[in-house]
Structure 1
Amino acid sequence: MSGQMGTVALLRDGQVQRRELAAPPTFTRPTAPLRSRVAYAAAHVVPRIDGENVPGAPADIDWDATLAFRHHVWSWGLGVADAMDTAQRNMGLDAAATRELIARSAAEARSVGGDLVVGVNTDHLDDEVVSLQAVIDAYVEQLHHAEDHGAGVVLMASRHLARAASGPADYEHVYREVLARASAPVVLHWLGAAFDPKLAGYFGAVDVAPNLDTVVRIMSENVERIRGIKMSLLDAGHEIALRARLPEGTTMFTGDDYHYVDLIAGDGTRHSDALLGAFAAVAPNASAAIAALDAGDPGGYRRILGPTEELARHVFAAPTWFYKTGIAFLAWLNGHQPAFTMVGGLHAGRSLPHLSRLVELADAAGALEDPALAAQRWNGFLALLGVDVPAAVGV
């Protein structure tokens, strides 16, 4: 392999081109908690390479690699958001694996004092169409499982609720009943249709504006039981509008993987904290950027985190629900999992040109932690798939 850091072959317009990878940034792990922003990286799961992780099969998880990745995130001073859509909820992570993931991650968090929140949903129900009371009971069952293991809770958007609700009042009723059973404040989650088309019109209306009103009512009525809301609509304007209306004492956690740099920086009056799948791909960069804010260096924050946003936009490009493929791919390039595989066979969710562009953008963003390893893995992957990798690049 030529070049000090490694040379990669990239696919551009049907042609194979060379790129010399840059040296990785010299970020330093924090020795004290990050102060100016709360940031969670929504983590993925790693399958066993010899498991039957094919579409429709139960998830067969490599627990050592999966939990090691969470320790990687914690080592950079970030919190872990687990068992959420990044971990393939509703896209390969079955109910039994979800329960075990929550239990195992909670135990690991306790062992290092790591910050952990986990997703609570209704996805263990066998029937697609159920009553509102069944939705409430399903939420509460998962809520108690998370709380019994000492994990913080993110109350995820429910496909069952989206099907059962006839309007905003039904959402308000369900959330009121579930929140009444929470023993500690939870984070709500508004996941847009770009991430899951089955959640279109969540909170009861087709347009966003009336749904903002519904969310504010839910949060205001139950404010003592709500820590904040993660908003994942990929629309900065909607997030800023809701952020300005949040009840006192609650927090906006941006889930906007397109616009997080400005949203986290804030407008001088308000800012968003973070709960992002993108941060699983760039945990060192996110840590260093928040540390720059802690040091009173907003320019350094933008210099570090700014280049990662183009990478994130590509990872989360339409069809957005396949963003998980890019997260796992970058984890593999960075040595956090032994193979580029995913539960449910989801590693086939992105094309080879898409992945090639990811390599290029990750290099430009300083998101390749070991460029030599990334080059070796990527060039070998290309060769395995029949791409004629130039001899000067090497495999």
Structure 2
Amino acid sequence: MSEDQSTTRTAVAAARRVVVKVGSSSLTDGAGGLSRERLETLVGVLAERRAAGSQVILVSSGAIAAGMRPLTLAKRPQDLATQQAAASVGQGALVAAYTASFATYGQVVGQVLLTADDVTRRTHYTNARRTLERLLDLGVVPVVNENDTVATHEIRFGDNDRLAALVAHLVDADALVLLSDVDALYDGPPSRAGTRRIPQVHSVDDLAQVEIAGSGSTVGTGGMQTKVEAASIATSAGVPTVLTSTDLARDALAGADVGTLFHPTQGRGRARRLWLAHATTPRGRLVLDDGAVEAVTARKKSLLPAGIAAVSGRFSEGDPVDLVDTRDQVVARGLVNYDAKELPRLLGRSTRELARDLGPAYEREVVHRDDLVVLRGPRRRPAAPTTQKSESR
């Protein structure tokens, strides 16, 4: 084991606060139903870590899978309504199983169901973070899952790997462990002769030539690609990540050379902006002139009506939208303060003018800088100042 790998794995072993994600395929039997034996084995490992003094947050898939057998579904449903019905039936069974299993170790669990909407809107985000922190302060093991029962296609995380990475940053975790039915990332399909385990990754750029396979599970949604993306999100937020199989969970948490270790690529940043970048699906697009692009990306200003050239999409106040330049390249994402029908008549006008003509309620930003995350910087500086540059906040 190299020195840097040893150092990072030691950090995982010493993590005071760790997020562990387990997939549906690791919790179900051959028929797709919930396996109490597999669940209890995992709980034993996590309870041991919790008893040793660490705080553990479990992001668990399995609600839909747990609901398949009671509903006599032979395979995971594809339509959203049936998925939500299965989740409604299965979520109770899943949490009841965790509650009973952790109780044998004298530990208490608390259910936390999230949608992307819950953690991108400002007040909801603050509440989600406060709730998780309080559960941990009380010695509870939070069991987090996406709220499949009410989530729509527009406000879904898409998979619990990404949710786990975002939760790890939300709670300032010291490590993230992604568990599945595959023991590591390989440089090709694991079934192919000569394929080798990739023990560590310093940057996702290291994987440019790696053939990453998809999911073969009939009960889960996330394949190896989603796990690599989740690791990228977590490590870009300064959280070391280990990807391995559920059978190797104890070794991974102990810092052993198992699975694939993803080293942190950046330091800690603002958690909410990470959620905006990775947990939201844009409902529309705002086309910015060059001055507005410069103001938003380089000078970290709010977006005002004067800098917007065009609007597309169907969105309401508070929805996420992409901010694009005149070449249709996305430069930022943010939560908009106007709906799609109202915004077009405001374009190109200063907030002072709008307040004079329409009332003081219109003297506000289209996207406030606190509700905005920059995804790409400007390609070039504008040739001359614009209204956005002089008025932006």
- What TM-score do you get using the length of structure 1 for normalisation? 0.29
Larger Rg: 2
> Which structure carries more relative contact order (alpha carbon 8 Å, separation 6+)?
1
Which structure is higher in helix share? 1
